[in-house]
Amino acid sequence: MFSRHRNLVLVGLAGSIMLASPFPTWAQSKLERVKFQRGRSSTVVRGTILGFETRDYLIGAKAGQVMTLRLSSTNPYTNFVIYSINERPTDMNETTEWSEKLSESGDYLIRVLMMRAGARRKGATANYTLNVSIR
């Protein structure tokens, strides 16, 4: 009885930790650092996600710079979310366009994903292009 209770507590604790994490373990994907060619302030990233997969991109920027992101996709349910350098989601929902003067220096994480309504469909696939600019 004690062993079963202990196991339930451990499972509950692990679930709470996963839910509290800004980068959920079940949705984590390979992290790719976005690099700019020398002398350039913009770049294009292309990729594909299937169903509930996500793709994470890390972009280094400085406070005072303006970051602009534009996402186009073959699947209308494809969006991105931006996490600030302290691993908190920014004050925005999933979107396809975003531009803001940055208040913090460091790495920003951009997560490309399909919204649930599209991701749950059989064979859901999204080819996408993410335009990144930092000025």
Q: What is the CATH number of the domain that holds 108?
A: 2.60.120.380
User: pLDDT at position 18, please?
Assistant: 40
User: pLDDT at position 88, please?
Assistant: 62
List the one residue out of 82, 77, 83, 80 whose CA is nearest residue 94.
80
CA 105 – CA 61 distance, rounded (Å):
6
User: pLDDT at position 10, please?
Assistant: 43
User: pLDDT at position 94, please?
Assistant: 84
Is 3 domain-assigned? no
| Residue 96 pLDDT > 80 | yes
CA 101 – CA 99 distance, rounded (Å):
7
- Least confident window among 17-21, 54-58, 94-98, 111-115: 17-21
Tokens standing for 134?
Answer: 């930092």
Is 108 domain-assigned? yes
CA 103 – CA 46 distance, rounded (Å):
27
SS3 state at 133: strand
User: pLDDT at position 30, please?
Assistant: 79
Which domain does 115 fall in, by range? 26-134
Is 21 domain-assigned? no
Is 14 domain-assigned? no
| Model pTM score | 0.74
Tokens standing for 41?
Answer: 């302030």
Is 31 domain-assigned? yes
Is 4 domain-assigned? no
Q: What is the mean pLDDT of residues 86-109?
A: 82
